[in-house]
Structure 1
Amino acid sequence: MSIVSEHEQPSLLKRKKYMELQVEIVSRETIRPETPTLPEFKHYKLSLLDQLSPLVYGIEFTCYAPPNNKLDDEHCSIAHLKKSLSKALSRFYPLAGRLTADESTIDCNDEGTPFVEDRCKCPLSLFLHAPYRVDMANQFLPSIIPAHGHRTSRSLAPTEMVPFAVQVSIFDCGGVIIGTKGLHKILDAASCGIFLKMWSDLAKGLQVESAIDITTAISLFPPCSWAAVSPPREPIPLCALEGNKVDGTCVVKVFEFNPDSVATLQAKARSDLVPKTTRIEAVSGFIWKHVMAAAATASGNPCAFGPSVVTHAVNIRSRTSPKLSPTTFGNLVVHGIADYKGQNGMVPKLSDLVTEIWRALADVKDADFLTTLQGKDGGQAIRRYKQNLAVLKDQPNISIYRFTSWSKLGMNPDFGFGMPLWSGHTGGRMSSSFKNLILLILNPGHQIEASLILDEKEMYILQSDPHFLQFASLIGRPHSHTTTI
């Protein structure tokens, strides 16, 4: 294992406070692959779907209860996470590389992954019980500023953007939070889930196959010149990469839908065309209806529902013919597009909105449709598809809501700590470029948590809507399963 250390002396520990929490950064290190990447694998070309993916970071953190027998030396556990991460990077070698200036290739140069370790001078339950814990989440997410750079600028060039970063927070009680950031340009949520599972299996000492498919994406979706970045971009502000911004115009709130609420929404969403809706379709339609209502109220015309568009991300690995391996690496996502025209004074039915979402998802899940997007000719089909979406976006006074679901992507890794108590996304204020992004997470216990990024005024209206709160509970109240942590 190769580790480049930049430990800080205890007297120089950087302290961050937010409400009752105090987080002390103990070390910042760079974890490199256990074995060097072979010369023939030094250049990883991005596929067309990678080219079209945004240059932003996907973010996740997972909270783990303290072990039954607390380790005397917690550094042994941290050292084990680092060693297993180094092994995982040998298999997922693009994550230890860096983008080229034209964003067409990953230079698999083994520069490594930032790894931040910190200590929290409180029990994990203090965070999990905090009324505003969603707003505290950013303390447990790693910085993507290069550790060796000591940059004063708050912008990064593409060549400086690390593909993956990790922060491990240890609480006084022995509880752990593992926060990660993955560059969306390189990997989608499913790829991130594949990597996290491999890393966690290695951490548990399990035998792990090296069957990561790192070539299929570019063979099915070869890059196109029309999607290339030319000339290279100027350095990008961090708020545009991560979304977090002190003076951002949008806010993040997380709402929980318990299994009974979801079942009721599924029953309400049924129609002759869609007699059986999925949990994700029902919750998505319900959220769409109420965020449209909030936007209409904020505009001063509560009856002005629509026009509105929903895009819903679909993992196509199991949808193509033949099916792709679930371990296929890269961005393998296509977006279903549901278009609601809106009628002034008419409140849309939940069943109608869910039907529109169902149609949109059915279209992009169709194996024949996905075949038309593949190969040399597929590039033009994808271009037309993107142009159609751009036409919708250019319509006056239209709202675009971007949904994505992590319900079946393995985003709850174990690492030997047991299954997570809670998995989250991000919190606080966000840049307006992230407006109307909605992430759905299926947590242990089968609750669906919806992380919504909305305009602040619209969010206030939504979280005050009694019809919305009849099924959705604002995250922040204590959970019974965390009381003894």
Structure 2
Amino acid sequence: MNVQVEVISKEIIKPSSPTPNPLRHYKLSFLDQISPPLYTSVVLFYEFNRETQPTITETSKHLKKSLGEVLTLFYPLAGRVKIHDHFVECNDEGISYLEAQVTNYRLHDVLNNLVPDELNKFIPFALDEHIANEFALGVQLNMFDCGGFAIGLCISHKLADGLSMLMFTKTWAAIARGETDEAKIGRPQFVSATLFPPKEITGYDSRAGITKNKVTKRFVFDASTIEDLRAKYTDLQKNEKHPSRVETLLAFMWRRIVGATKADHDDDNKMHRVIYTVNLRPRIEPPLPHYSFGNICRISLTAPLLGKSSSWDDEDQESCYGMVRRVREALSKVDKDMKTLQHGGEHLRVMDRLAQSSSTGEVVTSSYTSLCQFPVYDIDFGWGRPTWVGLPPLPINDLILFLDTKEAGGIEAYVTLSEEVMTKFESDPFLRRRVSMSWFGSAADSSLIRQPALLNHVTKFIPKSSRL
């Protein structure tokens, strides 16, 4: 489909209270410095289920008032990012706020036909856009003629990781609902630069890996499918911990991607590996609260896996479980490397070696991140919980991104690959028989549909996951 979204107004929203002078210089941490200069984003779709529906003016007024209030808590987002100087000038100049009208589709029609790239129309900035105006945050309110609406939000990755983005949105929604309980509002803590002091970095290109030559598709796996795969891998685990549903799906998806990546002329000795983002908050001593703000995460990577180590043309259980084991081994090293990471030098050397091996083609690297178990379906601005939450595709190739479905236990997988590899990937017979159809439709080809998903509400989350 080709949804048409017309921006009808633009303005600047400033914090409702001024930032105190001692807080006006916000340092970027070492982990902020090495984060790519792009935006991360989320789009939340809502349906009105009441007899009286507010107008766009009433909806916007409600959101803008609460936005000004939440910016007093998350004050760096209302400042201006000075990337090369490694700080944010917290001058309260405000954030970009857009209002837009969806002119050719109703909300229900969009959700039944939406493909990931269409989500870019519901956010205020292009995700790979150079932050020439130094905005750290942008919000776009999208109204449908049927009365539904979508809130699109972009946050600079130089300031915030995925958890920080979602906790900001959750806090904003709590304020909009009129919450006064401090525990529900969740005040941010700005400790990242203290834990990971900024460094003088030369020769490191944080834009490496950003590309527009890719395609993203969304594949939905229901709870029963994931549990069936878990059972297969659990049979092999002997005395080891059972794989989680995220570990299970990552092993399954990575195997399918490796198979799609291998060309007929590929050398059997070519290596494949996966890197993934790890949330450091629960791994620091003492553990940090989940509302600690910043890029408090690092990448971890599996040992390279030789292409000839197993056949990629079948669904051999042992090789899939071997992938789970490799992921766990890499995670165990994160705890041991925490002190080294805080000094920063060794982490940069690892990332340099990673970039070099990938650029030469000797190692094929896939990236993975998970937003599963984060409270995306608890984000209520006063009109009820979201009908659906979508993630506009990041401009990074060979990427797997997981998000919980509204149905408890299911997972949506956003997969970004080159067009050639995607064609092979989505035709994989084992993938085709595992992919299910969500209630609002699947971005995957209709031939991949297996069974409809249920509309159970996802259970409320208390953050425990160690991955972003």
TM-score by length of 2: 0.84
Pair 1:443 & 2:405 matched: yes
- Report the CA distance between 1:68 and its aligned residue: 1.7
- Report the CA distance between 1:384 and its aligned residue: 4.1
Could you tell me which of 257, 265, 272 is aligned with 1:308?
Answer: 272
Amino acid at match of 1:279: R
Contact 1:189 1:409 in 2 (8 A): no
Contact 1:303 1:346 in 2 (8 A): no
- Report the CA distance between 1:372 and its aligned residue: 3.9
- Report the CA distance between 1:166 and its aligned residue: 0.9
How has the CA–CA distance of structure 1 residues 481 and 471 changed in structure 2, closer, same or farther, with 3 Å as cutoff?
A: closer
Name the counterpart of 2:369.
404
Matches for 1:330-369 after TM superposition, within 5 Å: 330-344=294-308, 346-347=310-311, 349-364=319-334, 366=335, 368-369=336-337
Contact 1:439 1:452 in 2 (8 A): yes
Matches for 1:389-428 after TM superposition, within 5 Å: 389-390=354-355, 392-393=357-358, 396-412=361-377, 413-426=379-392
Give the 3-state SS of the residue equivalent to 1:289 in structure 2. helix
> How many angstroms apart in 2 are the aligned matches of 1:472 and 1:33?
44
Matches for 1:199-278 after TM superposition, within 5 Å: 199-207=172-180, 209=182, 212-226=187-201, 248-270=212-234, 271-272=237-238, 274-278=240-244
Name the counterpart of 2:31.
49
> How many angstroms apart in 2 are the aligned matches of 1:161 and 1:392?
33
Contact 1:48 1:224 in 2 (8 A): yes
Name the counterpart of 1:3.
none
Which stretch shows the higher mean deviation, 99-108 or 409-418? 409-418
Amino acid at match of 2:43: F
How has the CA–CA distance of structure 1 residues 228 and 51 changed in structure 2, closer, same or farther, with 3 Å as cutoff?
A: farther
Give the 3-state SS of the residue equivalent to 1:25 in structure 2. strand
Contact 2:9 2:100 in 1 (8 A): yes
Amino acid at match of 2:341: L
Give the gaps of 5 or more residues in structure 1: 1-17, 146-153
How has the CA–CA distance of structure 1 residues 306 and 69 changed in structure 2, closer, same or farther, with 3 Å as cutoff?
A: farther
TM-score by length of 1: 0.81
Name the counterpart of 1:190.
163
Pair 1:318 & 2:277 matched: no
> How many angstroms apart in 1 are the aligned matches of 2:60 and 2:253?
40
Give the 3-state SS of the residue equivalent to 2:201 in structure 1. helix
Could you tell me which of 66, 72, 84 is aligned with 2:48?
Answer: 66
- Report the CA distance between 1:457 and its aligned residue: 0.8
Amino acid at match of 1:339: A
Give the 3-state SS of the residue equivalent to 2:303 in structure 1. strand
> How many angstroms apart in 2 are the aligned matches of 1:312 and 1:56?
18
How has the CA–CA distance of structure 1 residues 191 and 42 changed in structure 2, closer, same or farther, with 3 Å as cutoff?
A: same
Name the counterpart of 1:455.
418
Amino acid at match of 1:344: K
Give the 3-state SS of the residue equivalent to 2:121 in structure 1. helix
> How many angstroms apart in 1 are the aligned matches of 2:296 and 2:30?
10
Q: What whole-Å deviation, never above 9, does each CA across 1:430-463 have from its counterpart, x for those lacking one?
A: 85xx111211001211320010110101101111
Amino acid at match of 2:167: I
Give the 3-state SS of the residue equivalent to 1:318 in structure 2. helix
Give the 3-state SS of the residue equivalent to 1:182 in structure 2. strand
Contact 1:141 1:181 in 2 (8 A): yes
Pair 1:293 & 2:276 matched: no
How has the CA–CA distance of structure 1 residues 72 and 203 changed in structure 2, closer, same or farther, with 3 Å as cutoff?
A: closer
- Report the CA distance between 1:335 and its aligned residue: 1.6
Pair 1:129 & 2:74 matched: no
Give the 3-state SS of the residue equivalent to 2:169 in structure 1. helix
Q: What whole-Å deviation, never above 9, does each CA across 1:250-291 have from its counterpart, x for those lacking one?
A: 101000111011111212223236440011111111111000
Give the 3-state SS of the residue equivalent to 1:142 in structure 2. coil
How has the CA–CA distance of structure 1 residues 60 and 353 changed in structure 2, closer, same or farther, with 3 Å as cutoff?
A: same
Name the counterpart of 2:65.
83
Could you tell me which of 418, 426, 429 is aligned with 1:466?
Answer: 429
> How many angstroms apart in 2 are the aligned matches of 1:199 and 1:169?
17
- Report the CA distance between 1:47 and its aligned residue: 0.7
Q: What whole-Å deviation, never above 9, does each CA across 1:58-111 have from its counterpart, x for those lacking one?
A: 121111122323325331121000110111111101001111151400011112
Give the 3-state SS of the residue equivalent to 2:306 in structure 1. coil
> How many angstroms apart in 1 are the aligned matches of 2:81 and 2:382?
32
Contact 1:70 1:174 in 2 (8 A): no
Contact 1:321 1:371 in 2 (8 A): no
Contact 1:303 1:345 in 2 (8 A): no
Name the counterpart of 1:92.
74
Which stretch shows the higher mean deviation, 471-480 or 285-294? 471-480
Name the counterpart of 1:10.
none
Name the counterpart of 1:150.
none
Identity %: 29
CA RMSD, Structure 1 to Structure 2 (Å): 2.9
Q: What whole-Å deviation, never above 9, does each CA across 1:357-394 have from its counterpart, x for those lacking one?
A: 12122322x3x4324433xxx22343344345346535
How has the CA–CA distance of structure 1 residues 379 and 101 changed in structure 2, closer, same or farther, with 3 Å as cutoff?
A: closer
Name the counterpart of 2:338.
370
Amino acid at match of 1:175: G
> How many angstroms apart in 2 are the aligned matches of 1:142 and 1:420?
20
Could you tell me which of 173, 190, 194 is aligned with 2:146?
Answer: 173
Amino acid at match of 1:174: G
Contact 2:167 2:291 in 1 (8 A): yes
Count of aligned pairs between the two proteins:
431
- Report the CA distance between 1:330 and its aligned residue: 0.5
> How many angstroms apart in 2 are the aligned matches of 1:166 and 1:140?
9
How has the CA–CA distance of structure 1 residues 80 and 339 changed in structure 2, closer, same or farther, with 3 Å as cutoff?
A: same
> How many angstroms apart in 1 are the aligned matches of 2:203 and 2:309?
44
Contact 1:123 1:172 in 2 (8 A): yes
Give the 3-state SS of the residue equivalent to 2:302 in structure 1. strand
> How many angstroms apart in 1 are the aligned matches of 2:307 and 2:204?
40
Give the gaps of 5 or more residues in structure 2: 313-318, 456-468
> How many angstroms apart in 2 are the aligned matches of 1:170 and 1:274?
50
